Amino acid sequence: MATASVGFKSREEHRKKQELEEARKAGLAPAEIDEEGKEINPHIPQYMSSAPWYLNAEKPSLKHQRKWKSDPNYTKSWYDRGVRTFKADKYRKGACENCGAMTHITKLCIERPRKIGAKWTNKHISPDEKIESFKLDYDGKRDRWNGYDMNQYARVIERYEARDEARRKFLKEQQLKKLEEKSKKLRVDEDCSDDEEEEEDALKLDEAKVDESKQMDFAKVEKRVRTTGGGSTGTVRNLRIREDTAKYLLNLDVNSAYYDPKTRSMREDPLPNADPNEKFYAGDNQYRMTGQALDFKKLNVHAWESFEKGQAEINMQAAPSQAELLFKNYKAAKEKLKKQMKESILEKYGNAASEEEIPRELLLGQSEREVEYDRCGRIIKGMESSVPKSKYEEDVYINNHTSVWGSWWRDHQWGYKCCQQTIKNSYCTGVAGIEAAKETVDLMKSNIERKANSYEMSGPVTEKRLPNWGSETQEDLVLDQDKLAEALKKEDERKREEKDERKRKYNVQWNDQVTPEEMEAYRMKRMHQDDPMKNLLH
C-alpha cells in the first residue's frame, strides 16, 4: 500500500496497520485513496508504494512511480498537412518563380513546371503553405506514429466490410436461386414423388432464407475489453457454437478417456464404441495422424534421415525453413524421377489402360472377312497366317547384307546366307564373293594335288651339309686348330669386355672380315636358349 514518509510507530500502530492491509487485500475494507482521488491497489508491494523520504510526501500516493517531471516545451501536435494560408493576387518579390508562393524557392517547388512561370504571367498564384516548427524530445523525434490519424484506417475497414457484406449477400442470392430452380425442376419432373422428400426440400429452402446473424453468431466479431479504462486489447471471433458439447462431457464414466484440465487435452477417444459416422470428436490423437500434423512428422523424419546420411546442414531446430525447402525440393525431384520412369515404361511397353478406343472388330471378335477352313481346321482361303512380332528389331540388315547373321551354317560355323561369310559384321560381297570363295577353294585343292604329284616324281632328297656359320661351302672344309684356339681366346676377351665396359678402349678398331675359325669359336661359345644346362655353364 502507498504510504507517506512518517516517523516512528509503536507496536500497536504497526499491528493495526498490518490488519488494515490484510483487510484491504481480502476486500473487507475499502481501498486507499491517493491525492488525485484514485484507488490504490492494495496488492502493490511496499518497496513500490513507499515514497522516498526526500519527497516529504504527506499523503499516500503513487506519483513518485510516474513521470511527474515533464518538459513544458514538448508538444504532441503535428504538422497540418495540405493546409494553405494567404493567396496573393499578383507576383511578389522573392517568391517562387514557378507558382508564386512565398514559402519556398523555385528549386524546391513541387508543382509541375509551367511553360511560363507566375513571375511573368501574374496568373494562378499558388497560396502559401503553413510552416510550423515543433520542439520534440528524444522519443518524439523517433516516434514513427507521431501525427497518425486512426480515423484514416477506419475507412479501409469500412471498405473491406462492405465488400464482404456484398459478397455474402451475392452468395446467398445464388444459393436461394439454385434451391428454387431445383425445387421447380423436381415439381415438374417428378409429380409422384413422396411427401417426405418435398418436405425436406422445403425445409432446406426455408433454412437458406434465414438470416445468418439469427442462425448463429459464428461470423460475429466482438471486442475483448479487459482494461480498467474501458479500452480494448483486440478483437476476437466467436468460434464456438453454443450447441456443441464439451469433450469432457461426452462420456461421464470415470474409467473413460482422461481429460487433462491444464492442457485441455483428451488424447483417447471418449466414445470408442460409437458409430464413426456419427462421432463429432474422436480424441486428440486422431488429429496427430491427419492434415498438417502428418506433413510435419514426414518433414522431421526426412531431416533425421538426411542427417544420418551425412547432410549436416539440415536441422529442423536450427533452420526449419531451410529444412522445409529442401524437403520440398526432394519431393519434387522424386515425383519427376517417378514420372520419367513411368513415361519410359509406357513408351517401351505401351499403356493398356489408355483412352484410345479399341477397334470394334477386336472388341466383339467379329468381321465381314470370309475365311474357308478344311476338315482339320486349317485355313484354306481368306486369311494368311501372320508371323508373330517380337519386341526386338526385325529385318534390320547391316553392311549391305540381305540376310541376318545366323541364316547360314557350314562346317560348324554360323554366317550370312547372302554371301556365305562366317565373319560377323563383315561387308557383304554377294554372289561374286561366293564365286570367288569357290575359286579359292578349287585353286587350293589343285595346288595340293600338284605338290603331291611333284613329290612322287622327284628322286631321293640329299641332305646338304651346311657350314658352321650358316653359308654353303665346300665339303672338304678344314679348320686350323691354332687359329681356332686363338679365336676362342679372343671370344672370351670380347665377352669380358661386354660385362665390364670400363675396360673398353677409345681407339677400338672394327673389322667385318670373319674367318671360319672365328665363326666356329663364336658358335662354340654362344649360349643356346634351348639348352637345359645353360645355367650351369656360365
Are 133 and 103 in contact by the 8 Å Cβ rule? The answer is no
Q: How far is CA 519 from CA 466, 467, 523, 524, 526, in A?
A: 13, 10, 6, 9, 11
pTM: 0.26
The answer to whether residue 465 scores a pLDDT higher than 50 is no
pLDDT average, residue stretch 323-342:
93
pLDDT average, residue stretch 244-268:
88
Highest mean pLDDT, choosing among 2-11, 348-357, 505-514: 348-357
- Model confidence at 509, in pLDDT bands (50, 70, 90)? low
Predicted local distance difference test score (pLDDT) of residue 385 = 57
Cell digits for 129?
Answer: 503553405
pLDDT average, residue stretch 380-409:
78
d(CA 65, CA 51): 9
**12 SS3 class:** helix
The owner of cell 631321293 is 460
**Top-confidence residue, 344 or 504:** 344
Burial annotation 183-192 (CB, 10 A radius, 16+ → b, else e): eeeeeeeeee
- Model confidence at 157, in pLDDT bands (50, 70, 90)? very high
- Model confidence at 330, in pLDDT bands (50, 70, 90)? very high
Return all residues near 464 (Cβ < 8 A) that are at least 6 apart: 472
Residue among 118, 115, 112 at smallest CA distance from 91: 118
- Model confidence at 191, in pLDDT bands (50, 70, 90)? low
**Top-confidence residue, 76 or 208:** 76
Greatest alpha-carbon span in the chain: 165
Span of 158-172, 200-214, 329-343, 440-454 with lowest mean pLDDT = 200-214
- Taken as a whole, the chain contains a residue count of 538
The answer to whether residue 213 scores a pLDDT higher than 50 is no
pLDDT average, residue stretch 225-253:
64
**Top-confidence residue, 101 or 84:** 101
Return all residues near 39 (Cβ < 8 A) that are at least 6 apart: 31, 32, 33
Predicted local distance difference test score (pLDDT) of residue 3 = 59
Highest mean pLDDT, choosing among 120-134, 349-363, 371-385: 120-134
- Model confidence at 239, in pLDDT bands (50, 70, 90)? low
Beta strands 221-225; 232-237: pairing state: antiparallel
The string of pLDDT tens digits covering residues 13-24 is 989 989 999 998
Beta bridge partners of 409: 414
Residue type, 400: N
Predicted local distance difference test score (pLDDT) of residue 227 = 46
pLDDT average, residue stretch 136-145:
83
**Top-confidence residue, 242 or 49:** 49
The answer to whether residue 231 scores a pLDDT higher than 50 is no
**395 SS3 class:** coil
C-beta neighbour count of 378 within 10 angstroms: 9
Q: What average pLDDT is seen over the chain?
A: 79
d(CA 33, CA 181): 71
d(CA 329, CA 335): 10
Are 419 and 401 in contact by the 8 Å Cβ rule? The answer is yes
Q: What is the 3-state secondary structure (H, E, C) of 328-393?
A: HHHHHHHHHHHHHHHHHHHHHHCCCCCCCCCCHHHHHCCCCCCCEECCCCCEEECCCCCCCCCCCC
**Top-confidence residue, 86 or 355:** 86
Predicted local distance difference test score (pLDDT) of residue 36 = 84
Predicted local distance difference test score (pLDDT) of residue 228 = 44
d(CA 1, CA 47): 9
The string of pLDDT tens digits covering residues 402-425 is 888 888 888 889 999 899 888 888
d(CA 478, CA 491): 20
Span of 121-125, 155-159, 347-351, 473-477 with lowest mean pLDDT = 473-477
